Amino acid sequence: MRILTLGCWAMACGCCLSAASGDLNLMPQPAHVIPGQGKLKIDQSFRVALTGYREPRLEQAAARLIEHLESKTGMPLSPELSGDAAGAALEISAAAASSPVQKLGEDESYRLEVTPAHARLTAPNPLGILRGMETFLQLVEADKDAFAVPALQIEDRPRFPWRGLMLDVARHWMPAGVVRRNLEAMAALKLNVLHWHLSDDQGFRVESKRFPKLHEMGSDGHYYTQQQVRDVIEFARERGIRVVPEFDMPGHTTAWFVGYPELASAPGPYTIESKWGIFDPAMDPTRDAVYQFLDAFIGEMAALFPDDYFHIGGDEVNGKQWERNPNIQVFIKQHDLRDNVALQAHFSSRLQPIVTGHGKKVIGWDEIFAPTLPKDIVVQSWRGQKSLADAAKAGYMGILSAGYYLDLMHSAEFHYAVDPIEKESAGLTAEQQARILGGEACMWSEYVTPASMDMRIWPRAAAIAERFWSPQEVKDAASMYRRLAVVSRDLEWRGVRHASSHHLMLERLADGHPVGPLATLSDVVEPVKEYSREEARQYTSFTPLNRLVDATRPESDVAREFGNLVDRALAGGSDASSSRDQLRRWLTGWRANDAALAPALEHSFLLQELIPLSKDLAALGSAGLEALDSLTTGHKPDAAWLEKQQALLDRAKKPRAELLLMVAPHVEKLVHAAGRL
Ligand code: ACM
């Protein structure tokens, strides 16, 4: 085997990635893979040995590994852990303990060596072991004879130390079980920060013993008790995940003011917000009593959340309450503050020492960035990549979330192409680039419920996880999609419900009718993108999210595959004929689907909005088939036919029922190709 050079390894440059590593079902792809000869068979004699440093967390992780292997293979396995490598298929050896409270930037590297005789996973500390266990599990596959892991040598470490997922549990409440199962999925993808967005206008979701009116009056009764918070943090720690709480201030604070209106910049009274958007209420940054309250509150929360970082929010303050409050206007003049931005900077600069005083470092959305703040804050860039580069140039650390908003319903490929270090950051020095710590995928919860949350996050977040972990050179979208499909299947076995809840929601909609035709329609549509749902109707936290737009997946695999087939059929290569055959099968199915689906659509008020979509899908099926016939026979279709199809296509490409028929642009390519004959 080739010896890896330290220089190459230290730079995680990806130059040792072999073609073979892209073929392995690994996500995220490791920094270095060297293929070996043969395979290690995984059968019922499989045993794990823990040699080296030992702690309960490692023993529990080894026990989970065996359980996951059981669900992956269906084979009952022995839970027995040995301390002796002899006779164990997998030897796990950590050199020493990691920090009791996981730190940003702790070593997560590991080495996995697999030969036909055994596998050995070593790491400087348990964090690397946790990461390497996930790699080992992903490598287990069935071949003609048995389950096996290919012989290889992996040396792996993350590109970025901050690899997060933000969960908004304020707008729609997410019970602790939902958080736990998403932590389990995060661990499978080597993500290491849960950013827990715990308060917003629509809810305050943590028990405060010091200020009980926060959760009692600021929530609908759904909040985490402090014991539940501790349990989630422990669950995350066992999986090598830090938990960073966010209490969004000074805006997005209506829920705080229901119980404590004296914190606000206008007298109130306040009620919990039920609509979505940006609202006027904001803390009064001019009053000492507000900072005294925050000092006591943050003191309580700093003791509850052990992580070094504390997220103070800071986004989207519209300043209207400040402008309407004469005392605040006097304060602005007295302190020579230019505008609301300067007033918010004043707030941040008073809040920051309070947070630091409780032993924490500040992280906030990019609005908090002001050159007066100390350099150990972390700026979370959501408004664009430029703010990240600006912060890094000014000496601040930052993470990227712009481009990773899962609620905007973009494809995995879209997110995958966004890199924390690119374009605007290209002019950064190596030192400035090193201040970019990574990024976070964000799951804002205006349009998700506990039933749909997993489906909105997974599997797309796995592609983002690869962006944060793997060398920058790993960016082939076709390889990503191939591996994503495998990850997606594995995740469901880990307890995430992204696939099963989709199916359950379709069954609920079908209401006793066969679910197949509805699934066929669902498979070719996607929810509208970006913030279009806000424009479609007035949603509130009470609006049921029970339509097809809520049940359907954010990304249509069928449309993507159909589009690839269209491109291959039109390119005229050696596979053009088989591509045309496959296209015909899809199109024929869609042409027939409306007749099969119509009884269900007519039966239910929830489905009637889909009648035009279903009819158009059938018409697209016919249009595509007729275009293919023309392309096969070489007979150019007449102008009237083309005009009719264009009218259909123009209609089919427009959103209806907040859904997009994703196959329409691909059928259009066929129709236009026929028109060009
Ligand atoms: C944000 O999306 N307002 C951080």
Which amino acid is present at 115?
Answer: T
* Phi and psi torsions of 33, nearest 5°: -130, 130
What atom of ligand 1 comes closest to residue 316's alpha carbon? 3
| Nearest in space to 300 (alpha carbons), one of 208, 178, 232 | 208
What atom of ligand 1 comes closest to residue 313's alpha carbon? 4
| 105 Cα–ligand 1 center, Å | 25
Tell me what the mean pLDDT of segment 331-341 comes to.
96
Last residue of a domain, one of 123, 156, 189: 156
Tell me what the mean pLDDT of segment 258-284 comes to.
98
Asked if residues 506 and 553 have their Cβ atoms less than 8 Å apart, the reply is no
Residues 217 and 265 occupy one common structural domain: yes
Q: What is the pLDDT of residue 372?
A: 85
Q: What is the pLDDT of residue 423?
A: 67
The verdict on residue 200 lying in a domain is: yes
Determine the residue of 199, 365, 443 to mutate for testing ligand 1's pocket, defined as the one with the most ligand atoms within 8 A of the Cβ atom. 365
Q: What is the pLDDT of residue 370?
A: 86
Tell me what the mean pLDDT of segment 291-299 comes to.
98
Residue nearest atom 3 of ligand 1, based on CA coordinates: 315
What atom of ligand 1 comes closest to residue 365's alpha carbon? 4
What atom of ligand 1 comes closest to residue 382's alpha carbon? 4
The verdict on residue 450 lying in a domain is: yes
425 band by pLDDT with thresholds 50, 70 and 90? low
Return the percentage of the chain with pLDDT > 90, whole number. 94
Q: What is the pLDDT of residue 15?
A: 40
Residue nearest atom 1 of ligand 1, based on CA coordinates: 315
| 401 Cα–ligand 1 center, Å | 9
380 band by pLDDT with thresholds 50, 70 and 90? very high
What atom of ligand 1 comes closest to residue 380's alpha carbon? 4
Residues 368 and 407 occupy one common structural domain: yes
With a cut of 80, say whether residue 5 has pLDDT above it: no
447 band by pLDDT with thresholds 50, 70 and 90? very high
| 151 Cα–ligand 1 center, Å | 45
Residues 316 and 365 occupy one common structural domain: yes
Determine the residue of 444, 447, 530, 534 to mutate for testing ligand 1's pocket, defined as the one with the most ligand atoms within 8 A of the Cβ atom. 444
The verdict on residue 322 lying in a domain is: yes
CATH number at residue 83: 3.30.379.10
With a cut of 60, say whether residue 19 has pLDDT above it: no
6 band by pLDDT with thresholds 50, 70 and 90? very low
18 band by pLDDT with thresholds 50, 70 and 90? very low
Residues 449 and 594 occupy one common structural domain: no
Q: Can you tell me the distance from the alpha carbon of 580 to that of 570, in angstroms, rounded to the nearest whole number?
A: 9
Residues 233 and 97 occupy one common structural domain: no
Residues 505 and 592 occupy one common structural domain: yes
Determine the residue of 316, 366, 367, 388 to mutate for testing ligand 1's pocket, defined as the one with the most ligand atoms within 8 A of the Cβ atom. 316
Residue nearest atom 2 of ligand 1, based on CA coordinates: 382
Query: What pLDDT digit, counting tens, does each position of 579-618 carry?
Result: 999 999 999 999 999 999 999 999 999 999 999 999 999 9
21 band by pLDDT with thresholds 50, 70 and 90? low
The verdict on residue 646 lying in a domain is: yes
With a cut of 60, say whether residue 369 has pLDDT above it: yes
Instruction: Give the torsion through C-alpha atoms of 339, 342, 344, 350, to 10 deg.
Output: -140
Residues 508 and 401 occupy one common structural domain: no
Q: What is the pLDDT of residue 2?
A: 32
Query: What pLDDT digit, counting tens, does each position of 69-90 carry?
Result: 999 999 999 999 999 999 999 9
DSSP string, 619-675: HHHHHHHHHHHHHHHTPPPPHHHHHHHHHHHHHHTS-BTTEEETTHHHHHHHHHHHH
Q: What is the pLDDT of residue 669?
A: 98
Q: Can you tell me the distance from the alpha carbon of 329 to that of 641, in angstroms, rounded to the nearest whole number?
A: 67
262 annotated active-site: no
Asked if residues 390 and 369 have their Cβ atoms less than 8 Å apart, the reply is yes
With a cut of 60, say whether residue 16 has pLDDT above it: no
Ligand 1 neighbours, Cβ below 6 Å, are 315-316, 365, 382
The verdict on residue 186 lying in a domain is: yes
Residues 590 and 645 occupy one common structural domain: yes
| Nearest in space to 58 (alpha carbons), one of 130, 106, 108 | 130
| 200 Cα–ligand 1 center, Å | 11
Which amino acid is present at 322?
Answer: W
**Lookup result for tokens 């200020």:** 211
How many residues are given for the chain? 677
CA angle 497, 545, 259 (to 5 degrees): 100
Q: Can you tell me the distance from the alpha carbon of 456 to that of 433, in angstroms, rounded to the nearest whole number?
A: 31
Enclosing H/E stretch for 527: strand 525-527
pTM here is: 0.96
Q: What is the pLDDT of residue 460?
A: 98
Strands (DSSP E) found in 314-435: 361-365, 378-381, 397-400
203 band by pLDDT with thresholds 50, 70 and 90? very high
User: Which structural domain range is residue 101 located in?
Assistant: 32-156
First to last CA, the chain: 56
Tell me what the mean pLDDT of segment 259-282 comes to.
98
How many distinct structural domains can be found in the chain?
A: 3
What atom of ligand 1 comes closest to residue 444's alpha carbon? 2
23 band by pLDDT with thresholds 50, 70 and 90? confident
Q: What is the pLDDT of residue 422?
A: 81
Residues 171 and 70 occupy one common structural domain: no
Residues 273 and 348 occupy one common structural domain: yes
The verdict on residue 15 lying in a domain is: no
The verdict on residue 19 lying in a domain is: no
| 164 Cα–ligand 1 center, Å | 15
Asked if residues 315 and 365 have their Cβ atoms less than 8 Å apart, the reply is yes
With a cut of 80, say whether residue 344 has pLDDT above it: yes
Residues 171 and 320 occupy one common structural domain: yes
Lookup: tokens for 484 = 């994503």
Query: What pLDDT digit, counting tens, does each position of 222-269 carry?
Result: 999 999 999 999 999 999 999 999 999 999 999 999 999 999 999 999
Residues 527 and 645 occupy one common structural domain: yes
The verdict on residue 492 lying in a domain is: no
| 259 Cα–ligand 1 center, Å | 24
| 314 Cα–ligand 1 center, Å | 9
Return the percentage of the chain with pLDDT > 70, whole number. 96
Annotated active-site residue in 55, 70, 141, 316: 316
Query: What pLDDT digit, counting tens, does each position of 650-659 carry?
Result: 999 999 999 9
Q: What is the pLDDT of residue 427?
A: 87
What letter would DSSP give residue 1?
Answer: -
